[in-house]
Amino acid sequence: MREITADMIKNLREKTGVAMGKCKEALVLSEGDTEKAIDILRKAGIAAGVKKEGRETKEGLILTGENKSTLVIVEGNVETDFVAQNDRFKHFLHDSVKQALETKPASLADFVAQPYYKDKSITIDQYRNLIIQALGENIQLRRMEVVHKHPNSSYGIYSHMGGKLVVIVEIEGADDQGDIAKEIAMHAAAENPDYLRFEEVPAHVRAREEEIARSQVQGKPANIIDKIVAGKLKAYEEQACLVSQKFIKDNTVTVQQFLDACGKKINKKLSIRCFWRWKVGQA
């Protein structure tokens, strides 16, 4: 029998949207013939939407859910904004978030293979295929992240453009500062930082920025080139790093200075531990 490779399984997964394990089973049964494997999956009722699976999905929504211990963020993609606003698609995403909060999957691949909590005779992936059949468009769960909350942290969630852009900010140092975290999330939605702080900028990115800066000051006196380059790198930091950006509600202070002032009011040291900024279709 023809060897079933990881690439063959991945290719079938991309064509059908069916879980990797089921794809492998179908390829084994079809002796490595992809088209026959698709027929096997369709006959099993789990790839009825296969013809729609290849269509490009650029629209969609990002939803979040949380409880005391966990926070979940999910992006679902469709072909048109019209379907993105459809209640059946929204219910599918809401159900996905609700189930992920309970099961805390290790990965998206693990999640779509789970039995659907409202009908355990089908998986999440099969449920998705039923929605494809009902709405007539390719539908994908593009990404999912399960955040395990820290006991001494606050979380702020800001959803913009009807769920097209979602930002989550985690503040370390207190568990009752969700409003402050949300204000910073709103800032991050508007200012689009690439990194949390300058120390997290990859070395190759910093080297590139320094190279660009030095190319811009050729011909300047040698004794001031380093100062000019340092100034340009500082300007890059203030543009690219969340804690160094001018706070959008008060541009006389940085985000970190705003947070320091908030911490001083409650006699606690606050810091941003991490942030998530998801936009529909983002690479």
pLDDT tens-digit map of 261-282: 999 999 999 999 999 999 998 8
pLDDT at 195 over 90: yes
pLDDT at 21 over 90: no
Long-range CB contacts (< 8 A, 24+ apart) of 157-161? 157/64, 157/66, 157/71, 157/182, 157/185, 158/182, 158/185, 158/186, 158/188, 158/189, 159/62, 159/64, 160/189
Average pLDDT over residues 58-86: 96
Percent with pLDDT over 70 in the chain: 94
Of the pLDDT bands very low, low, confident and very high (cuts 50, 70, 90), residue 216 is confident
Q: Which of 19-33, 91-105, 141-155, 175-189 has the lowest mean pLDDT?
A: 19-33
Of the pLDDT bands very low, low, confident and very high (cuts 50, 70, 90), residue 219 is confident
What separation in angstroms does the CA of 231 have from each of 35, 70, 187, 193, 213?
A: 59, 41, 24, 19, 9
How far is C-alpha 75 from the geometric centre of its chain's CA atoms?
7
pLDDT at 48 over 60: no
Q: What is the pLDDT at residue 52?
A: 57
Q: What is the pLDDT at residue 45?
A: 63
Q: Which of 23-32, 115-124, 254-263 has the lowest mean pLDDT?
A: 23-32
pLDDT of 179-192, one tens digit each? 999 999 999 999 99
Q: What is the pLDDT at residue 212?
A: 86
Instruction: Indicate the helix (H) or strand (E) that contains 170.
Output: strand 165-172
pLDDT of 227-252, one tens digit each? 999 999 999 999 999 999 999 999 99
Domains of the chain (ranges; CATH) run: 6-47 (1.10.8.10), 55-149 (3.30.479.20)
According to DSSP H, which parts of 104-177 are helical?
Answer: 108-112, 124-135
Q: Does residue 134 or residue 63 have the better pLDDT?
A: 63
The CA distance from 25 to 216, in Å, is: 58
Under 8 Å between Cβ of 243 and 273: no
Q: What is the pLDDT at residue 20?
A: 83
Percent with pLDDT over 90 in the chain: 71
What separation in angstroms does the CA of 80 have from each of 60, 89, 97, 136, 142?
A: 8, 12, 21, 11, 15
How many residues make up the chain in this entry?
Answer: 283
Q: What is the pLDDT at residue 22?
A: 84
Average pLDDT over residues 166-187: 98
Of the pLDDT bands very low, low, confident and very high (cuts 50, 70, 90), residue 58 is confident
Given the DSSP bridges, would you call strands 140-148 and 153-160 parallel, antiparallel or unpaired?
unpaired
Q: What is the pLDDT at residue 50?
A: 54
Of the pLDDT bands very low, low, confident and very high (cuts 50, 70, 90), residue 221 is confident
The overall average pLDDT reported for the chain is 92
pLDDT at 95 over 60: yes
